[in-house]
Amino acid sequence: MTLIDLRSDTCSQPTRAMREAMAWADVGDDVYGDDPTVKELETESAALLGKQDAVYMPSGTMTNQVGIRAHTEPGDAVLFDQNAHVYLLEGGAPAAYSGTLPRLLPGIRGIFTAADVAAAVGRPHPFFPSTVPAPVKLLCIENTHNLGGGTVWPLEQLLAATAAGRQLGLNLHLDGARLWHASAATGIDVAEYAAPFDTVSVCFSKALGAPVGSCLAGPAELVARARRFKQQIGGGFRQAGIVAAGALYALRQHRSQLPEVHANAKRFAVTVSQMDGIDLDPAHVETNIVLFRLTRGSSAAFVDQAHRLGLHVLPSGADGIRAVFYLDISADDADRAATVVGKTLAAL
Ligand SMILES: Cc1ncc(COP(=O)(O)O)c(C=O)c1O
């Protein structure tokens, strides 16, 4: 029995062709700015995202946190959705690395409104000294939203929320780890989603199928500042062209396959949503992430039993389950995974 691994789209495996591209990549020392493959990836990513420059780093956590550091000084406040990856799942780095304070926005499945942004910043009043509160410097948005269930920001709402941030004098950072997925789901160009933001972080290692890495794109001056912070936290990774070649391959060859990945996630969700004991609206499955609730029993018992039966999924809170689809998971795997969900429910 082969285990179907739906814990995360980071579990994807590099293909043979990708490994070939990596094996023969031209490389140099990235710290000295010498690696031609890294440069090619940075140039191509910046162009795709409509930004002046980009910098390649080992992880999405690093591109997000270096981005936050580049926009802020210790003591500044940053606006995040209450379930943002940068806030909840990056080891406390906004506090530990940038010394920033989170101000949380009440997003629904990761999506909040312009009014939420305005309310979180508040209105200055001459009776109240502006030196008292931590100054809010940055608004972060996540598209698609991981813990929201792969939610895509509606473009109009994204434009309204970012315009509200701008009006309040904030800088804007997009955690676009899965921006490729938003674009594949809606047909809206990644550059259009990226346009309102100063900086954009994108990942190649999730459902795009590359083994390593992310780019932070933005204006040349900010990217230059980010390069300094990348070095400061040990992100200078020498002959990184080996892994950048995998990222370039993924960018060029794998984006077109994302609609199929989304279709497999939906196929699984539709079947599972019809099972007794599951709370899941398939309309909420917009991209490659399926989140569902158990109406009885605990998520811990469910994931253990599913694992024994051949399906690896993650708990999401006390009664939630997360299943993530990627290139290596076929339509047949999606059907087999749904069958295991049914058997798991029956066994509990
Ligand atoms: C939305 C989002 N941002 C950032 C990251 C961090 O990426 P990495 O695992 O490469 O550090 C993830 C990882 O899953 C993510 O889902």
pLDDT digit string, tens, across residues 137-152: 999 999 999 999 999 9
Ligand 1: which atom is nearest the Cα of residue 142? Answer: 1
**What residue owns the CA closest to ligand 1's atom 16?**
146
Q: Measured between alpha carbons, how far is 151 from 209 in angstroms, rounded to an integer?
A: 20
**What residue owns the CA closest to ligand 1's atom 4?**
60
Tell me how crowded residue 324 is: count the other CB atoms within 10 A of its CB.
Answer: 27
Q: Answer whether residue 175 shows pLDDT above 80.
A: yes
**What residue owns the CA closest to ligand 1's atom 7?**
60
pLDDT per residue as tens digits for the range 191-226: 999 999 999 999 999 889 999 999 999 999 999 999
Mutation choice for ligand 1 from 7, 10, 12, 61, CB with most ligand atoms inside 8 A: 61
Ligand 1 binding pocket includes 142 (Cβ within 6 Å): yes
Nearest residue to 340 via CA among 315, 310, 320: 310
What is the per-residue pLDDT for 130?
84
Where is pLDDT greater, at 166 or 122? 166
CATH architecture of 15-253: 3-Layer(aba) Sandwich (3.40)
What is the per-residue pLDDT for 128?
85
Chain region(s) in the chain for CATH 3.90.1150.10 = 257-347
Chain region(s) in the chain for CATH 3.40.640.10 = 15-253
Ligand 1: which atom is nearest the Cα of residue 61? Answer: 11
Ligand 1 center from residue 30 Cα (angstroms): 23
Mutation choice for ligand 1 from 143, 146, 233, CB with most ligand atoms inside 8 A: 146
Q: Answer whether residue 1 shows pLDDT above 80.
A: no
CATH architecture of 257-347: Alpha-Beta Complex (3.90)
Ligand 1: which atom is nearest the Cα of residue 145? Answer: 1
Ligand 1 center from residue 219 Cα (angstroms): 22
Contact of 79 with 135, CB cutoff 8 Å: no
Contact of 288 with 266, CB cutoff 8 Å: no
What is the per-residue pLDDT for 305?
98
pLDDT band at 127 (very low <50, low <70, confident <90, very high): confident
Instruction: Name beta bridge partners: 136.
Output: 77
Ligand 1 binding pocket includes 205 (Cβ within 6 Å): yes
Ligand 1 binding pocket includes 60 (Cβ within 6 Å): yes
Q: What is the DSSP string of 22-91?
A: HHT-----GGGT--HHHHHHHHHHHHHHT-SEEEEES-HHHHHHHHHHHH--TT-EEEEETT-HHHHSST
Tokens of 310: 């051949």
Ligand 1: which atom is nearest the Cα of residue 205? Answer: 10
pLDDT band at 297 (very low <50, low <70, confident <90, very high): very high
Q: Measured between alpha carbons, how far is 170 from 7 in angstroms, rounded to an integer?
A: 35
Q: Measured between alpha carbons, how far is 159 from 177 in angstroms, rounded to an integer?
A: 19
Q: Answer whether residue 347 shows pLDDT above 90.
A: yes
Ligand 1: which atom is nearest the Cα of residue 203? Answer: 10
What would the mean pLDDT of 233-256 be, rounded to a whole number?
97
Ligand 1 center from residue 125 Cα (angstroms): 39
Nearest residue to 62 via CA among 240, 319, 242, 281: 240
